[in-house]
Amino acid sequence: MKKTLTVLLVLAMALSFGACKGGESDVKTYKVGVSIYQFDDNFMTLYRNEMANYFKTLETATVKYDVQIMDAANDMATQTEQVETFISQGVDVLVINLVQTSSAESIYNLVQESGIPCVLINREPDAAYIGEKMCYVGADARQSGTYQGEIVTELPNMGDINSDGVISYIMIKGDPENTDAQYRTEFSVKALTDAGCKVKNLFEQTGNWAQSEGQELVATALAQYGNEVEVVFCNNDAMALGAYQSIVAANRTIGTDIYLLGVDALTECCQMVIDGKMTGTVFNDHVKQSHAAVDAAVKFINGQANEKYYWIDYTKVNSVDAAQTVIDIFATK
């Protein structure tokens, strides 16, 4: 009797151990290699954090994602190395935020040769470099530029503070080779002229998306053009934050003798819109963009096809309600 019991016990243990082992080997971990153009970028920081969070929410008892996010430190050679390493590690999918869209061809060649699917994000390359098992997730920067201009034309004085019939503006631009910078620069002004306004471009310089550069450039422009400056367009909010510091330092008052526009709708900028310290910004929806990028990556992992392009809409943020809505979206993240 005792012997039978022992045999049964050993059998049960062996069975449960087997089941346990079987359970573990049923877990499939997919490797995801992400290269971000630069960690030191407010918008891309929100984007990459949300991407990591969202991958976690998609995990199940049997599916896991090993997501490695690398900082290309704004250096194309570093990014190329990262992509090569990911490929040699045999990742299941790549997500790439190009350092330079003008160098898209070299990344395209590497990726296509490897046969690993790839989701490109945020910096749109030429259509020729979105190849087999590749797609692009972004937002149409023309829309954000148009919204910036419309925020100005919706003001009671249409941005013409000194009533001389002309909107005199300065333009602080992002990285010049980036379509987001090019389109925002072009379409913000186009929205003014489309509304029948006359415009005068006093000053147009590149601030490379960076707060410190935005601050310096706006200080220079205000020193040079003083009260002539009615509208300050910044291609993103980081530069608008810098612009704000220089506007205050020059004893100018937003909403009274100068207007300030950005793009991204960072929380601090939404708060500034609420407090009247910024005329408006445009929500560059990093939540929807990062989710669309992850969804596309997962589809590729599962062997499914993707569209070539996924576009996420921008939203105008020029009222307390609109700003609060975006702050609430951030608060739930």
Q: Which residues contribute to the site for ligand BGC (CB under 6 A)?
A: 41, 43-44, 122-123, 178, 180, 209, 236, 238, 263-264, 284
Return d(Cα 176, Cα 133) in angstroms, integer. 29
| Closest to ligand BGC by CB, 36 or 301 | 36
Q: How far is the CB of 282 from ligand BGC (least distance, A)?
A: 9
- By CB neighbour count within 10 A (0-12 exposed, 13-18 middle, 19+ buried), where does 173 fall? buried
CB of 46 to ligand BGC, least distance (A): 9
Contact status, residue 208 vs residue 174, Cβ threshold 8 Å: yes
Beta bridge partners of 232: 170, 260
- Per DSSP, which regions of the chain are E strands? 28-36, 63-71, 93-96, 118-121, 134-138, 166-173, 198-206, 231-234, 259-261, 281-283, 309-311, 315-317
CA atoms of 114 and 108, how far apart (whole Å): 10
CB of 312 to ligand BGC, least distance (A): 11
Rank residues 191 and 210 by Cβ distance to ligand BGC and give the closer one.
Answer: 210
Instruction: Closer to ligand BGC by CB, 67 or 263: give it.
Output: 263
Shortest Cβ distance from residue 299 to ligand BGC (Å)?
23
Neighbouring CB atoms inside 10 A of 313's CB total 11
Closer CB to ligand BGC, residue 42 or residue 306?
A: 42
Using the minimum distance from each CB to ligand BGC, give the nearer residue, 232 or 301: 232
Q: Please, what is the minimum distance in Å from the beta carbon of residue 116 to ligand BGC?
A: 23
Shortest distance (Å) from residue 170 CB to ligand BGC: 18
Minimum CB–partner distance for residue 139 and ligand BGC (Å): 7
Give the Cα separation of 265 and 230 in Å (integer): 21
* Of the candidates 273, 206, 190, the residue with the CA atom closest to the CA atom of residue 239: 206
CA distance 236 to 220: 18
| Strand-pair partners of 119 | 95, 135
134 or 266: whose CB is closer to ligand BGC? 266
For the beta carbon of residue 110, count every other beta carbon within 10 angstroms.
17
Cβ nearer to ligand BGC, comparing 213 with 230: 213
Q: Which of 48, 27, 18 is nearest to 36 (CA)?
A: 48
